[in-house]
Chain A
Amino acid sequence: KQEVTQIPAALSVPEGENLVLNCSFTDSAIYNLQWFRQDPGKGLTSLLLIQSSQREQTSGRLNASLDKSSGRSTLYIAASQPGDSATYLCAVDRGSTLGRLYFGRGTQLTVWP
């Protein structure tokens, strides 16, 4: 069974801080790990996809790393802005159940000016 845990559950920081969001998963037999952003009442926006053979991916101020053997990923947000306020979700697949994603409960981020 694949279980995904995200820490912390909530985070409130002043603008400009560098942040680290953590994700752990129990079954390391994955193909992909994906980070999403969800705004209140909205859908999910894909931020970064890391294949199991990769160590990290970067997009703008976002950097995600993957340590598959230990079942961990971190999402690093540089120079946070109020517009970054949202819930960040980590999701992994699993080799034995092709296609479906297993989600953590998310980290609710608030960046105040």
Chain B
Amino acid sequence: NAGVMQNPRHLVRRRGQEARLRCSPVKGHSHVYWYRQLPEEGLKFMVYLQKENIIDESGMPKERFSAEFPKEGPSILRIQQVVRGDSAAYFCASSRGTGGGTEAFFGQGTRLTVV
């Protein structure tokens, strides 16, 4: 029973390029979350998606960042025109639902380095 799968594990991009991060949730989970961990900082929420819907994107920068969770396939976090400040670890989590007793499971993360 595979957990949350993220790829790639490491990604290097030059300034101005696009970064695409993929996340496949635990089988049977329809709720996906993306978090960002900057060096020496805690994890910060970015976006919460269900299949084909963005539920809460209040933590995601308004420009250059977008996320989707299509009916088929993994969730994608896309960062356009990357800058050095985007260098961070990006974690995806999934859950079966929300509310009491709902456990979130995290992937291994994608470490983005912008050079």
A42 (CB) vs chain B CBs: closest residue: B108
Q: Collect the chain B residues with CB atoms within 8 Å of residue A45's CB.
A: 106
Q: A49 vs B101: C-alpha distance in the bound complex, in angstroms?
A: 7
> Does B28 have its Cβ within 8 Å of any Cβ on chain A?
no
Whether B106 and A43, one on each chain, are in contact in the complex, defined by CB atoms closer than 8 angstroms, is yes
Check A101 against B33 for contact (C-beta < 8 Å): yes
* Contact yes or no, A101 B104, CB < 8 A: yes
A contact residues around B33 at 8 Å (CB): 99-101
- How far is A53 from B99 in the complex, measured between Cα atoms in Å? 12
CB <8 Å contact, B100 and A51? yes
Given the known interface contacts A43-B91, A49-B101, A89-B43, the answer about A100 and B107 at a Cβ–Cβ threshold of 8 Å is: no
A36 within 8 A of B: yes
Instruction: Report if B85 contacts A (CB, 8 A).
Output: no
Docked complex Cα distance between A9 and B59 (Å): 25
Task: Tell me which of B31, B41, B42, B108 contacts A99 (CB under 8 A).
Answer: B31
* Count of interface residues, chain B, beta-carbon cutoff 8 Å: 30
Residue-by-residue, is B26-54 near A (CB-CB < 8 Å gives 1, otherwise 0)?
00000101010000011111001000000
Q: A49-B103, A51-B101 are in contact. Are A105 and B108 (CB under 8 A)?
A: no
In the complex, A98→B102 CA distance in Å? 11
Is B56 in contact with chain A by the CB < 8 A criterion?
A: yes
Residue of B nearest to A53 (CB): B100
Q: Is the CB of B56 within 8 A of A43?
A: no
B55, A99: Cβ atoms under 8 Å?
A: yes
Nearest to A95 among chain B residues (CB) is: B99
**Could you mark each residue 13-46 of chain A with 1 if its beta carbon is under 8 Å from any beta carbon of chain B, else 0?**
0000000000000000001101010000111111
18 A-B residue contacts at CB 8 Å?
Answer: A31-B99, A32-B102, A34-B104, A42-B108, A43-B6, A43-B106, A44-B43, A46-B106, A49-B101, A51-B100, A91-B104, A97-B56, A99-B48, A99-B56, A100-B45, A101-B35, A102-B45, A105-B42
